[in-house]
Structure 1
Amino acid sequence: MWLLNITFSAMYTRRNIKSSIILRFAWKNLILFTLYASLVVLAYVLLRRYDIYIGIPFLPVSTTGIAVAFYLGFKNNQSYDRFWEARKAWGGITNYSRVWGSQVISYINSQPDKAGTDAEIAKKLIYRQIAWINALRIQLRKTTIYDRKNISYVPVFDLGADNKSLDAISGFLSEAEYNEVLAKANAATQLFRLQGMHLTQLVTNGTLSERRQIDMMRTIEQLYNFQGVCERIKNTPFPRQYAYMSTIFVWIFLLILPFGLVEQFSGSKTAHMIWLAVPFNVLISWFFSTMEIVGDNSEDPFENYVNDVPMTAISRNIEIDLREMLGETNLPPRIQPVNDVLL
């Protein structure tokens, strides 16, 4: 639909949405509402000559609109809560990944007499954390939605080879570890298992104290919790009794709306005023349909939409922070918005 040249799912960053985007987003519905309202008005004018009235009082129509608006408000609030919880989880992943990097550097890579050995251990632990972030990102972006009718509202992008497979983590793991986690159903979980086993090995050979091991395992526990939050949101669809019924209620209201408007405008002093029902119907219908679409597109924050959590950018920022802790200078650039969309 719009912004089709973008190759990753992401988050729209521009403060004001361009009018051209709004028109591309809504033009089909605007044409539909215009044609439908025009037909109702024309039928009303023609049938009235034969004393046949198809208009209905506006009071029940407005009451229906108020009820639908309340229902939409509830749905949109709950949908946004899902997105915001997902974003907070990735904020926690960012913070605890930095904690992990600080712990690795201060607990392990801090003994001058074994600096070379410890530096390799620290790099392995930190690189495995970077691999975990990317593995989780890729797993979350594997779509679970089989009914893709809502792609007419928000584009679904080709994620590219980097996001379609776990090849993106191969540069941060040894070949043996990469092959091991690749064979598992949940690669991110297995990477933390490897982290825990590595810490136990470091305690056994005296590189790490048990107190520090417990401290680092608490960090892994927190990261596991954030992974669980993301997986819960991913694997628990928004209750369809709220999502689907709101769509039905909105369209029932939009179907009866022009019949109430023609009755309202037919009482005007001049006959041609009845045609004002058409633009007012289009305006009101666009308001309600847009609110429905906004809620629908906020339900799933990991489904490769424009308004998703920008996991690629977050993962890249974490990678840069952790590799800088290792003293590396040859770092990848931060992800920048493309056409006002952050990957």
Structure 2
Amino acid sequence: MIVTAVPRLTQIVREVWKPLLILFVWDVIVTVTYYVLPFRAPELPLTLFGSALALFLGFRSNSAYQRWWEGRSLWGLMINASRNLARAARNFLPDPEARDMKRTIVLRQIAYVNALRCQLRKQKVDDEVLRFLSKGEADFALSRTNTANGIVDGTGRRIDLARRNGWIDTIQQASMERVLIDIANAQGGMERLKNTPLPNQYRFFPTIFTHLFCILLPIGLVETLGFATPLGSTVAGLMFLAVLAIGDDLVDPFANTVHDLPLCAMCRTIEIDLLQSIGDEAPEPMVPDKTGVLW
């Protein structure tokens, strides 16, 4: 996620330069044709077209942002649920009998959020997951189609084992299970966002209408702007293409691009909080890289 306050115009131009270059060439062709082979440009209702397109693109961008913000809200819930699980394990499980069980539950939760991060970004499970699990636990989790769900299932079994060993009672077990339910619900919401794209109409028609408007724009402006048509038309087209690109950038909050949620940083936040809750040394929080992006 880009966290710098300075607008990254170069990033926007980098994403739209290809259609922008084509638009500029088309604007030049229309302008040269107008002066070499004079023609009367049709009176196109560009204001009406542009207003309707702006409303269409704005609605699409708002829908994409809602998906992005829902993803952020679900990760906020995941952070809170992870803290609640660690606090319950620390307070409910007695020392010294269940010290290892307490530590195992906390470390498994750190492994779980990192596994979920990898799944949402379509990446292979990395060392941030495996280093918090024993060899047998890692092999069992990796054998599951949904690795993250396999890890949280194992946590549930350990909570049940703690109850059968008499370390916690049924009320405490139910309290911890409610936290696991919150975790599972958050994961389900994230998977829904990841696996359900915007309807095709939201993606196809805005793209078609935007490019059609950019084609008609110089024809309607050439009589008014003359030789300045390529400049004016290209700048106006840039605004519409940029709004179109913004919707594409926000529609998948877990795509591992500079516009998406900083999953690595949020997983690091969970790791710091949970390790400190059991008295272990924790790493430093992640900071933005040199380009102002927090991953």
Structure-to-structure mapping, 1:93-108, within 5 angstroms? 93-108=78-93
CA offsets 1:32-80 (integer angstroms, 9 cap, x no match): 33221111011112222xxx43x1114x222111111111011000000
Structure-to-structure mapping, 1:301-340, within 5 angstroms? 301-329=253-281, 331-338=282-289, 339-340=291-292
1:120 aligns with one of 85, 95, 100: 100
How many equivalent residue pairs? Answer: 294
Structure-to-structure mapping, 1:243-262, within 5 angstroms? 243-262=203-222
SS in 2 for 1:116: coil
- Residue segments in structure 2 that go unaligned for 5+ positions in a row: none
**CA apart distance, 1:193:** 1.3
The answer to whether structure 1 residue 90 and structure 2 residue 75 are counterparts is: yes
2:31 aligns with one of 34, 41, 47: 41
**CA apart distance, 1:195:** 1.4
SS in 1 for 2:185: helix
TM, length-normalised to structure 1: 0.82
Partner of 2:183: 223
CA offsets 1:273-330 (integer angstroms, 9 cap, x no match): 511222211111111111101111111111121111110000011001000000112x
**CA apart distance, 1:30:** 4.0
Structure 1 runs of 4+ aligned residues shifted over 3 Å read 18-31
Partner of 1:282: 234
SS in 1 for 2:97: helix
SS in 2 for 1:13: coil
Counterpart of 2:251, as a letter, is E
Distance (Å, rounded) in 1 between the aligned partners of 2:219 and 2:92:
73
Distance (Å, rounded) in 2 between the aligned partners of 1:86 and 1:131:
20
The answer to whether structure 1 residue 17 and structure 2 residue 7 are counterparts is: yes
Q: Indicate the percent of aligned positions where both proteins have the same amino acid.
A: 33
**CA apart distance, 1:119:** 1.7
Distance (Å, rounded) in 1 between the aligned partners of 2:156 and 2:124:
27
Counterpart of 2:189, as a letter, is V
Distance (Å, rounded) in 1 between the aligned partners of 2:13 and 2:212:
24
- Residue segments in structure 1 that go unaligned for 5+ positions in a row: 1-10, 143-162, 266-272
Partner of 1:210: 170
Distance (Å, rounded) in 2 between the aligned partners of 1:23 and 1:252:
20
Q: CA RMSD in A?
A: 1.5
TM, length-normalised to structure 2: 0.95
**CA apart distance, 1:123:** 0.3
CA offsets 1:62-114 (integer angstroms, 9 cap, x no match): 21111111110110000000000001100110011111111111111xx4xxx
Distance (Å, rounded) in 1 between the aligned partners of 2:257 and 2:72:
14
Alpha-carbon contact 2:16-2:241 (below 8 Å) kept: no
Alignment CA distance shift 1:21-1:166 (3 Å) = closer
